[in-house]
A and B are shown apart, each in its own frame.
Chain A
Amino acid sequence: MAVAAKPGYSCPYCATSFNTVDDLKDHVLKVHGTEALPRPEGYVKLTVNGQAWELEVAPNWTLFYLLHDQLGYTGAKTFCDRGACGSCTVIIDGRPVLSCMTLAIECDGKNIETAEGIAAAKHPLIEAYVKHHAMQCGYCTPGFVVTAKALLDRNPDPTVEEIKEALAGNLCRCGTYPQHPIAIIEAAKKVLAARSENTPA
């Protein structure tokens, strides 16, 4: 997504344009003598795969742009950039969501997980995806894996139907669909086995 070189903030009273929110705020206070517009936002504190970030973001940055282009988490990909394919999926506070349709400025206080975090934690999904070769070109794959991780977090023993339902929003142009439930069921078994090992008898 193209990011406007010069963000413009226009005054609601006289339509004069300003480059920063602060300039707009000063203008509204001084020229129009009104109360300040409530808290124009710009700073966000968020956690990505356990790492805390404090950042200044522009209002028109999507979460995808922040993660991929600004912070270098390139696991998520944009395909459609319109919410219709799932390749940009990340997990926010446990929910699988589309980073292309989320504004970064609205992610203050959020806990975000990306494909990088899932790989770094050596989640069994990664091995199962490689073993069953649930990919061809691989472009859509991080989106599938992140969606599958969110599913397993909530439902560690999903049926094939439940897996299909959860992945219904992920498109794959190479048509790797049949491999995903196979890989996910195998990963689920490992997650369950690891859990019962860790629980003292």
Chain B
Amino acid sequence: MRSFAHFNAATVDEAVSVLRRYGGKATVIAGGTDVLGRMKDEILPAYPEALVNIKTIPGLDFIDEIDGVIIIGALTRLEDIALNRAVQASCPALAEAARRTASTHLREMGTIGGNICQDVRCWYYRNPDNRFSCLKKGGGRCYAINGDNRYHSIFGGSVDQGCYAVHVSDMAPALVALDAAIKTSRREVRAEEFFKVGMLRTTILDDDEIVTEIKIPKPVGWSAFFKFALRKAIDFPIVNCAAMMALAEGKVTEARICLNAVHGTPYRARKAEEVMIGVSINEDTAEAAGSAAISAAIPLTKNGYMVQIAKTMVKRAILACNCPDKL
């Protein structure tokens, strides 16, 4: 790994001020599990000149519950989220997403802030020494579109088209389904908006902005998370899905369903949500919602198999939300 300057930030303001002074040439490091991999392989044309360690900022590693609202500090490790009683009781989708991420070691290191800000895993993009200078790195073409795209987007290119890399976070779809808000050093945005950016970035964060807290409003219903991966541990999702369903008299009154690893941003399955409103949760309705979720799929040459998996993930997540007594 090549060298860089290193700063231990003592406060959020200090982190922001160092980032601002480096104007895009410095990178935040939290658990480091994503950023150090990127640096060791030198995948990007530009190597960071400085790392700003935010683990030294006190008060960002906590889980609080206030009147049913769960607030999680950006530095909270995924293992702590997975094992937290309050999270398990009111936001099972989030606890399960954390539990299914990577491996014990990576969950003991990886933070929720880092998880939602992690970079894509497209294997052309991640190839060492910037071997493929693709569109996402400011190069001329996408190598996946005519290459091996078995783990790429089944819902078309990113917002400004062109890049087919998927967002692989396991926590992100759970946060979108639970309608969480992401608080940064300068604003608060809803989880869904946080990821809506063009292909050159993975979040709306400015160069000198950091995530400080994640707020989950009191859930309106039971939630569930499902992940399909080739291996049980240390494996990114092929497809994952989180859902939350509010029920009244056996009928769904509110539905939020979010897939991930299928598109450049977490993919809200709105058509599936529409199917579920006003009906009860059963095999047939969940099946119909699964089909609706993938109605807009346009798979690439090698990832057609993901479409059926996405449908099944949606179906399973919906069925698992049928627990009216648990909340």
Contacts and interface: CB of A to CB of B under 8 A. Distances in A.
Interface in B45-95: 49-51, 53, 55-56, 77, 79
B326 interface: no
B33 A40 contact: no
Contacts of A81: 40
Given A98-B105, A168-B232, A12 B37 contact: no
Contact of A41 (B8, B32, B233): B8
Contacts of A98: 33, 105-106, 109
Contacts of A58: 3
Contacts of B106: 83, 98, 169
Contact of A147 (B6, B7, B33, B105): B105
A48 interface: no
B7 A1 contact: no
Q: Looking at chain B's contact residues, is the secondary structure mostly helix, strand, loop, or mixed?
A: mixed
A95 B108 contact: yes
A9 B3 CA distance: 8
A171 B51 CA distance: 30
A62 B21 CA distance: 26
Contacts of A147: 104-105
Interface stretch (B22-30, B188-196, B249-257, B288-296): B22-30
A138 interface: no
Contacts of B79: 95
A39 B8 CA distance: 7
B18 A37 contact: yes
Interface stretch (A100-108, A116-124, A128-136, A183-191): A100-108
Contacts of A108: 8
A147 B233 CA distance: 15
Interface of A: 1-4, 6-10, 12-13, 21, 24, 37-41, 58-60, 62, 81-86, 89, 95-98, 101-103, 105-106, 108, 147, 165-169, 171
Interface of B: 1-10, 14, 17-18, 21-23, 25-26, 29, 31-33, 36-37, 40-41, 49-51, 53, 55-56, 77, 79, 102-106, 108-109, 232-234
24 contacts: A9-B49, A21-B5, A37-B7, A38-B17, A40-B6, A41-B6, A41-B7, A58-B3, A60-B1, A82-B40, A83-B33, A83-B106, A89-B105, A96-B105, A97-B105, A98-B33, A101-B31, A101-B32, A103-B32, A103-B53, A105-B53, A106-B32, A168-B232, A171-B234
